[in-house]
Amino acid sequence: MSFPWAAQYTPKHPLMRWIDEKLPLPRLVYNAVGGGYPVPRNLNYFWNFGVLAGAALAIQIITGVVLAMHYAANADIAFNSVEHIMRDVNSGWMIRYAHSTGASFFFIVVYLHIFRGLYYGSYKAPREMVWLLGVVIFLLMMATAFMGYVLPWGQMSFWGAQVITGFFSAIPLVGEPIREWLLGGFAPDNATLNRFFSLHYLLPFVIAGVIVLHIWALHIPGSNNPTGVDVKGPQDTVPFHPYYTAKDGFGLGVFLICFSLVLFFAPNALGHPDNYIQANPLSTPAHIVPEWYFWPFYAILRSFTVNFFWIPAKLWGVMAMFGSIALLFVLPWLDNSPVRSATYRPLYKKFFWLLVIDVLVLGLCGVKPVEEPWVRLSQFAAAYYFAHFLIILPIISWIERPLPLPGSISEAVLGGDAENVASSGQAA
């Protein structure tokens, strides 16, 4: 895709012309992230998080491939091989901490990326496919993160595997056989560890593939922007390079500083000490919680405490948890407002922030022990989460009166000068 005014790739050096004829890879790069991709000129720093998520994936793949050189996926020695990495392998401690901290940072930037998409309406037409692929990436990330967490074969690893595969046993009739099939036994053991390692190594490359589709789908309509107004002409865009390569480069520097601070000064802050105890199938840790990025979903899972309509509470919890993510797949069709950016949607903006608070409350409930007031609070918060998407959003998009939109991106950015800019653009 591109806008008609996108710069064309014109190699000058004979070697580059030769390559362009045989394998136009430099042309692809130029059109994707170079001067040939016109981007709205008004993107703010929230637009950095896509690139940062890509950087986080790269960190995970590089450190992960290195860790796999030293890790042994065998229930007898997995725990010790992780300690071997921490104590014996040259810089092993740093590479492992980079991988474990990197997982958290991957989720941090992806959550901010999703936040951006929700606030500025990036999920709406014509970018529904970008959004759908993004939700697929999110699901793959969660599966990968969970299986990676099992590999050190500590107490949290083992009981995490036990609990998460237990979700599948909630399915009526076939649940228990499915769980045994997933585990390769009646409880997590060597077979489970081996298949999780295999899939944990595979899925990041699947994620990388879906990211290619995600970007491909994005480049057909082009990037959204903080006003949500469509690009109308050349005066609304700047080329990706050097404008956004520089801006993303700056953002990457800030990201790496934050990452290094946690990696070198608080590498275990986001983990659980129990995972430094070797897996013991006879003893569950007193307080078992997942990693922080699963807390809101964990709270939704636990918020069902009684059977409704002959359906057991266990099945309700599992359905609600998966449903909370599945809802995101239909989001582009639940919100019918033609206005994208929350900046021009006063009513949506209020409820958007309520949703953010609601998800934070769910996260808090997810980490707290199963006792009052957290159980009741998580029930209300979970109910509100579903109400936001299924009831509030469709009603808002029906009754809301949006603020007047700017005529164009350049008008929003440059105010009254926009006409000068536009006319001189046409003159040239």
Partner 1 sequence: MGGVLLDEPRLFPFVGQRKGSGMATLENTDLSPGEPAEDGVRRRDFINIAAVSFAGVGAVAAAIPLITQMSASADVRALASIEVDISAIQPGQAIKTMWRKQPVFIRNLTAHEIQEANAVPLSELRDPETLAQRTKEGHMNWLITLGVCTHLGCVPLGAGEGENRGPYGGYFCPCHGSAYDTAARIRKGPAPKNLFVPDYAFKSDTLVQIG
Work out whether 257 is an interface residue with partner 1 (CB under 8 A): no
Q: Are residues 375 and 305 in contact, defined by beta-carbon separation less than 8 angstroms?
A: yes
CB of 420 to partner 1, least distance (A): 6
- Residue located via tokens 């690139």: 51
Nearest CA to 319 among 170, 202, 205, 162?
170
Mark whether 232 is an active-site residue: no
How many residues touch partner 1 (CB under 8 A)?
29
Between CA 103 and CA 120 the distance in angstroms is 26
CB of 232 to partner 1, least distance (A): 14
Between CA 103 and CA 289 the distance in angstroms is 17
Q: Which of 219, 232, 314, 349 is catalytic?
A: 219
Between CA 325 and CA 298 the distance in angstroms is 12
Between CA 353 and CA 120 the distance in angstroms is 13
Stretch that binds partner 1, among 84-92, 167-175, 183-191, 387-395 (CB under 8 A): 84-92
The contacts of residue 240 (CB under 8 Å, 6+ apart) are 33, 34, 35, 36, 37, 38, 39
Between CA 152 and CA 77 the distance in angstroms is 10
Between CA 127 and CA 193 the distance in angstroms is 39
Stretch that binds partner 1, among 60-68, 151-159, 199-207, 388-396 (CB under 8 A): 60-68
CB of 341 to partner 1, least distance (A): 21
Mark whether 124 is an active-site residue: no
Between CA 98 and CA 115 the distance in angstroms is 25
Mark whether 291 is an active-site residue: yes
Work out whether 69 is an interface residue with partner 1 (CB under 8 A): yes
Q: Is 165 exposed, middle or buried (0-12, 13-18, 19+ CB in 10 A)?
A: buried
Q: Which of 104, 122, 223, 410 is catalytic?
A: 223
Work out whether 12 is an interface residue with partner 1 (CB under 8 A): no
Between CA 136 and CA 114 the distance in angstroms is 12
Stretch that binds partner 1, among 49-57, 340-348, 387-395, 420-428 (CB under 8 A): 420-428
Q: Say how far residue 63 (Cα) sits from the centre of its chain.
A: 19
Q: Which of 248, 274, 335, 358 is catalytic?
A: 248
User: What are the angstrom distances between the C-alpha of 289 and each of 110, 275, 282, 300, 427?
Assistant: 21, 11, 18, 13, 63
Stretch that binds partner 1, among 91-99, 170-178, 329-337, 390-398 (CB under 8 A): 91-99
Q: Which of 241, 247, 272, 368 is catalytic?
A: 247
Q: Say how far residue 45 (Cα) sits from the centre of its chain.
A: 17
Between CA 402 and CA 342 the distance in angstroms is 9
Identify any residues that bridge with 308 across adjacent strands, giving them in sequence order: 311
Mark whether 99 is an active-site residue: no
Q: Are residues 324 and 385 in contact, defined by beta-carbon separation less than 8 angstroms?
A: yes
Considering the complex, state which of residue 263 and residue 299 has its C-beta at the smaller distance from partner 1. Answer: 263
CB of 234 to partner 1, least distance (A): 6
- Residue located via tokens 């608070």: 357
Considering the complex, state which of residue 98 and residue 318 has its C-beta at the smaller distance from partner 1. Answer: 98
Stretch that binds partner 1, among 23-31, 87-95, 125-133, 261-269 (CB under 8 A): 87-95
Considering the complex, state which of residue 90 and residue 173 has its C-beta at the smaller distance from partner 1. Answer: 90
DSSP letter for each residue of 200-220: HHHHHHHHHHHHHHHHHHHHT
Stretch that binds partner 1, among 58-66, 111-119, 322-330, 354-362 (CB under 8 A): 58-66
Q: Which of residues 232-251 bind partner 1 (CB under 8 A)?
A: 234-235, 238-239, 249
CB of 36 to partner 1, least distance (A): 12
For partner 1, what does the binding mask look like between residues 215 and 234, x meaning CB under 8 A? Answer: -------------------x
Q: Which of residues 93-122 bind partner 1 (CB under 8 A)?
A: 94-95
Candidate residues 269, 286, 306, 427; the one interacting with partner 1 per rule CB under 8 A: 427
Candidate residues 92, 152, 160, 251; the one interacting with partner 1 per rule CB under 8 A: 92
Say what angle helices 190-219 and 49-68 make with each other, to 10 degrees: 150
For partner 1, what does the binding mask look like between residues 18 and 57, x meaning CB under 8 A? Answer: ----------------------------------------
Mark whether 91 is an active-site residue: no
Work out whether 277 is an interface residue with partner 1 (CB under 8 A): no
Q: State the residues that interact with partner 1 by CB under 8 A.
A: 62-63, 66, 69-70, 84, 87-92, 94-95, 234-235, 238-239, 249, 256, 417, 420-421, 423-428
What amino acid positions are annotated as catalytic residues? 219, 223, 247-248, 291
